[in-house]
């Protein structure tokens, strides 16, 4: 459907090409960002450990969003909680099992 022209009383829609334009504007900058990462030839890196991992935050965030979105469906929120809780437990077991630590020289 053509968009961009709204009739009286209707909100104007974003033109179809806008999303492509945004991506096209971002591409060169993102390209230059990843290219050195790809072209790097020496793979020594330092690592930072924190008690809270991105993984757990992502899982909690997903749970929170889904729970809020589906408040009218309690069983759906509970199902997400059980699933994410299981993922978090598995992640914790994985972390505890390997006991990852950093050693800074």
Q: Where do contacts with other proteins occur on this chain (CB under 8 A)? A: 16-17, 19-20, 23-24, 26-27, 30-31, 33-35, 37-50, 52-55, 57-58, 91, 93-105
99: left (phi over 0), alpha (psi -120 to 50) or beta: left
Residue 43: strand, helix, or coil: coil
For 86, phi then psi, to 5°, come to -65, -40
CB of 86 to other proteins, least distance (A): 13
Min. distance of Cβ 5 from other proteins in angstroms?
Answer: 16
Q: Please tell me the distance from the alpha carbon of residue 29 to that of residue 16, in angstroms, as a whole number.
A: 23
Q: Which is nearer to other proteins, 16 or 78 (CB)?
A: 16
Nearer to other proteins, 62 or 81 (CB): 62
Compute the least distance from the CB of residue 11 to other proteins, in Å.
21
């Amino acid at each position: 459907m053509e968009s961009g022209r709204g009739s009286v009383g209707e909100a104007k829609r974003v033109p179809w090409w806008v999303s492509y334009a945004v991506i096209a504007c971002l591409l060169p900058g993102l390209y230059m960002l990843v290219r050195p990462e790809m072209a790097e030839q020496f793979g020594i890196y330092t690592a930072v450990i924190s008690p809270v991992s991105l993984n757990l935050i992502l899982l909690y965030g997903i749970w929170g969003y889904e729970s809020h979105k589906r408040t009218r469906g309690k069983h759906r929120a509970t199902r997400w909680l059980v699933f994410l809780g299981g993922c978090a437990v598995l992640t914790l077991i994985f972390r505890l099992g390997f006991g990852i630590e950093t050693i800074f020289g």
